[in-house]
């Protein structure tokens, strides 16, 4: 019988250097938006007042991306620390950085080549480059000539890099469209900039609203100059004009040496504002909002307090934390999520406001506010047939949220091949409104079609015609309306088709 030994003995040490291919695994959980947010964190930590995100287009193809700031910049010694995997500078009490891998993880999640060019006041410009790939055999970082670093820093940016500043350059960006099709590139840029505005505006809304930092996005065509810049505005998830009476309230609880404060907000009603809707939709944004040093880390979700519920989408609660707390909070390296530990839900159930309000009281109040406001909003509106196939899910969700539904078959709006030039066909037997496929390419403007394409057209058609699918029979007025709509819409469709044929 062997004896259990409490302490494990050792017999010396051996140095085990990491495989250089470890770089390939960095930042796997990043999206373009979270990766760029991590770089903006670095700019803010460097005292930047202005940050520029620039897409680079050569001909019709996207080839690179820059992040430029007017912060303190780095000396030759500090840039080496910044480019070291896991290298951790001295973080101040207000810094957003934390793990020492943010720059590398964010960059390598999106690009094969990371170049940092920087200038600190009173120092020469300096540059370093990491390129990762299957052929990397060491952790040697490329030195960038001073002349090139100067040239990049002194380009006519919309942000001053003198006497100090930093330029981050990404090349070989994996997520860019691998095509020269100008329409696809424009579509990608439009969506990317829109998503960036939403994500950065939300994550940095406190900092942007305070005027501490300004974030701008633009596109440079190397043959045609720089386009009109887009400024990122604050997107405050608590930006309602007037709260319900008695709210918000702050609940507190002690967990060991940690004081947990939860500021519980209730939106007075649904809203069409960007602040209420938020990227991803209001229903998915109910719940907890964790902040660290005025930077939003986590936007929505109840973390074990309660299951998501449509009736709770007016409820949003903010919690300010200063970092990981054992058993309560853990922040992921991408700074895109906070995981609440087992002690968190228990602490929340004991939390109380000064007037004795509990988390259960808060959730009940939020649900009651939803029920009352929803009844008020939809009670006087005419019920509609439920939306079905062919409509974009976002449009379906909006119709369901805004209009009472008849308990009936859903209305499908689908493209089909016709034997004539009519624009649409009403089929009450299958509750389907068919659109003539002859006009589809013109309606889409050459874009690729799909089941849920042409969301604007289909939404308008739904609102115009859904009532003819109600009831057991089609009345004389409905028949007259269908004939009128057919005549006008068919002429409009033929005109659109002729215009499209002339363009192509």
**Span 95-133, pLDDT tens digits:** 454 434 678 889 999 999 999 999 999 999 999 999 876
Q: Which of 110, 140, 97 is nearest to 35 (CA)?
A: 110
Specify the CATH number for the domain of residue 87: 3.30.565.10
Whether the per-residue pLDDT at 464 is higher than 50: the answer is: yes
Strands 412-416 and 432-436: parallel
β-bridge mates for residue 65, sequence order: 55, 170
The residue range of the domain holding 254 is 249-376
Output the pLDDT for position 101.
Answer: 66
The proportion of the chain whose per-residue pLDDT surpasses 70, expressed as a percent, equals: 87
Sequence-ordered alpha helix ranges (H) in 94-156: 102-108, 146-153
The proportion of the chain whose per-residue pLDDT surpasses 90, expressed as a percent, equals: 66
Could you give the CA distance from residue 440 to residue 425 in angstroms, rounded to a whole number? 14
Output the pLDDT for position 95.
Answer: 44
The answer to whether residues 125 and 218 belong to one domain is: yes
* Structure letter (DSSP) for residue 381: S
Whether the per-residue pLDDT at 134 is higher than 60: the answer is: no
The answer to whether residues 287 and 342 belong to one domain is: yes
Output the pLDDT for position 183.
Answer: 87
pLDDT in tens, 419-443: 999 999 999 999 999 999 999 999 9
In sequence order, the 6+-apart residues with CB closer than 8 A to the CB of 432 are 411, 412, 413, 414
Tell the burial category of 382 from Cβ atoms under 10 Å away from its Cβ (0-12, 13-18, 19+): exposed
The answer to whether residues 352 and 448 belong to one domain is: no
* Residue 240, in any domain of the structure: no
User: Residue 492's CB: how many other CB atoms inside 10 A?
Assistant: 12
H-helix or E-strand spanning residue 210: none
* Residue 371, in any domain of the structure: yes
Least confident of 53-57, 121-125, 471-475: 471-475
Could you give the CA distance from residue 386 to residue 396 in angstroms, rounded to a whole number? 8
The answer to whether residues 411 and 497 belong to one domain is: yes
Whether the per-residue pLDDT at 418 is higher than 70: the answer is: yes
The answer to whether residues 124 and 273 belong to one domain is: no
Could you give the CA distance from residue 129 to residue 140 in angstroms, rounded to a whole number? 10
- Residue 47, CA distances (Å) to 88, 165, 454 in order: 18, 10, 45
Least confident of 130-134, 154-158, 199-203: 130-134
Output the pLDDT for position 335.
Answer: 67
The answer to whether residues 305 and 330 belong to one domain is: yes
* Residue 434, in any domain of the structure: yes
Could you give the CA distance from residue 228 to residue 231 in angstroms, rounded to a whole number? 10
- Residue 444, CA distances (Å) to 155, 392, 421, 497 in order: 39, 14, 18, 11
3-state SS, residue 197: helix
Whether the per-residue pLDDT at 3 is higher than 70: the answer is: yes
The answer to whether residues 403 and 434 belong to one domain is: yes
Output the pLDDT for position 140.
Answer: 78
How far from the centroid of its chain's Cα atoms is residue 50's Cα? Answer: 21
Q: Among all chains, which residue has been given the structure tokens 């002859």?
A: 438
Output the pLDDT for position 102.
Answer: 76
Domain boundary among the residues 322, 349, 376 is at: 376
Long-range contacts of 257-260 (CB under 8 A, 24+ apart): 258/325, 258/328, 260/319, 260/328, 260/344, 260/347, 260/348, 260/351
pLDDT in tens, 245-262: 999 999 999 877 788 899
How far from the centroid of its chain's Cα atoms is residue 214's Cα? Answer: 18
**Helix, strand, coil % (nearest 5) of the chain?**
35, 25, 45
> Residue 355 in contact with residue 249, Cβ under 8 Å?
yes
* Residue 388, in any domain of the structure: no
Could you give the CA distance from residue 31 to residue 386 in angstroms, rounded to a whole number? 35
Whether the per-residue pLDDT at 153 is higher than 60: the answer is: yes
Whether the per-residue pLDDT at 26 is higher than 80: the answer is: no
3-state SS, residue 316: strand
The answer to whether residues 365 and 398 belong to one domain is: no
Sequence-ordered alpha helix ranges (H) in 392-454: 393-402, 440-444
User: Could you write out the DSSP letters of every residue in 467-489?
Assistant: GGGSSSS--HHHHHHHHHHHHHH
- Residue 273, CA distances (Å) to 12, 240, 277, 403 in order: 64, 9, 6, 18
The answer to whether residues 330 and 446 belong to one domain is: no
* Residue 384, in any domain of the structure: no
In sequence order, the 6+-apart residues with CB closer than 8 A to the CB of 482 are 426, 465, 468
The answer to whether residues 171 and 311 belong to one domain is: no
* Structure letter (DSSP) for residue 180: -
Whether the per-residue pLDDT at 37 is higher than 90: the answer is: yes
pLDDT in tens, 276-332: 999 988 999 999 999 999 999 999 999 989 999 999 999 999 999 876 565 577 777
More confident residue, 248 or 398: 248
Per the structure, the count of domains in the chain is 3
Average pLDDT of the chain is: 88
> Residue 216 in contact with residue 157, Cβ under 8 Å?
no
Question: Would you place residue 147 in the very low, low, confident or very high pLDDT band (cuts 50, 70, 90)?
Answer: very high
Helices 32-45, 182-203: axis angle to 10 degrees equals: 50
CA angle 190, 195, 201 (to 5 degrees): 125
* Residue 5, in any domain of the structure: no
Torsion angle of the four alpha carbons 269, 270, 276, 277, in this order, in degrees rounded to the nearest 10: 170
Output the pLDDT for position 166.
Answer: 97
Question: Would you place residue 274 in the very low, low, confident or very high pLDDT band (cuts 50, 70, 90)?
Answer: very high
The answer to whether residues 211 and 322 belong to one domain is: no
Least confident of 94-98, 170-174, 230-234, 480-484: 94-98
The answer to whether residues 206 and 253 belong to one domain is: no
End-to-end Cα distance, the chain: 86
* Residue 131, in any domain of the structure: yes
Question: Would you place residue 93 in the very low, low, confident or very high pLDDT band (cuts 50, 70, 90)?
Answer: very low
The CB-side HSE value for 498 (13 A sphere, CA atoms) comes to 6
Whether the per-residue pLDDT at 22 is higher than 70: the answer is: no
* Residue 181, in any domain of the structure: yes
């Amino acid at each position: 019988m062997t004896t259990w030994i409490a302490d494990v003995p050792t017999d010396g040490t051996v140095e085990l250097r990491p495989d250089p291919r470890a770089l390939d695994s960095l930042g796997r959980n990043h999206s373009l938006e979270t990766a760029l947010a991590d770089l903006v964190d670095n700019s803010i930590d460097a005292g930047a007042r202005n940050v520029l995100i620039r897409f680079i287009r050569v001909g019709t193809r996207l080839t690179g991306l820059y992040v430029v700031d007017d912060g303190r910049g780095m000396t030759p010694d500090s840039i080496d620390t910044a480019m070291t995997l896991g290298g951790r500078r001295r973080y101040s009490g207000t810094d957003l950085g934390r793990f020492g891998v943010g720059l590398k993880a964010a960059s390598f999640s999106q690009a094969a080549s990371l170049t940092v060019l920087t200038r600190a006041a009173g120092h020469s410009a300096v540059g370093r480059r990491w390129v990762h790939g299957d052929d990397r055999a060491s952790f040697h970082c490329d030195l960038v000539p001073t002349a090139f670093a100067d040239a990049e820093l002194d380009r006519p940016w919309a942000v001053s890099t003198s006497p100090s500043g930093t330029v981050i350059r990404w090349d070989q960006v994996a997520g860019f469209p691998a095509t020269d099709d100008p329409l696809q590139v424009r579509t990608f840029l439009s969506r990317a900039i829109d998503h960036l505005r939403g994500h950065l505006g939300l994550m940095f809304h406190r900092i942007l609203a305070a005027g501490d930092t300004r974030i701008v996005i633009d596109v440079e065509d190397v043959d045609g100059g720089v386009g009109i810049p887009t400024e990122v505005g604050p997107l405050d998830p608590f930006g309602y004009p007037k709260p319900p009476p008695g709210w918000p309230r702050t609940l507190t609880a002690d967990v060991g040496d940690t004081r947990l404060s939860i500021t519980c907000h209730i939106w007075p009603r649904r809203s069409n504002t960007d602040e209420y809707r938020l990227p991803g939709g209001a229903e998915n944004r109910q719940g907890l909002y964790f902040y660290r040093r005025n930077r939003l880390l986590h936007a929505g979700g109840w973390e074990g307090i309660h299951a998501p519920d449509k009736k709770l989408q007016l409820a949003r609660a903010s919690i300010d934390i200063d970092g990981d707390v054992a058993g309560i909070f853990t922040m992921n390296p991408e700074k895109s999520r906070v995981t609440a530990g087992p002690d968190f839900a228990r602490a929340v159930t004991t939390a109380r406001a000064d007037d004795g309000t509990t988390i259960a009281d808060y959730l009940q109040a939020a649900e009651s506010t939803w029920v009352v406001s929803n009844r008020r909003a939809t009670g006087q509106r005419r019920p509609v047939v439920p939306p079905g196939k062919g409509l974009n899910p976002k449009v379906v969700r909006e119709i369901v949220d805004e209009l009472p539904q008849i308990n009936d078959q859903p209305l499908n709006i689908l493209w089909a091949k016709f034997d004539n030039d009519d624009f649409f066909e009403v089929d009450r037997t299958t509750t389907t409104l068919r659109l003539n496929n002859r006009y589809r390419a013109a309606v889409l403007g050459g874009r690729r079609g799909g089941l849920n394409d042409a969301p604007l057209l289909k939404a308008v058609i739904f609102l115009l015609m859904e009532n003819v699918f109600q009831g057991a029979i089609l009345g004389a007025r409905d028949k007259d309306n269908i004939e009128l709509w057919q005549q006008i819409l068919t002429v409009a469709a033929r005109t659109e088709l002729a215009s499209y044929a002339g363009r192509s």
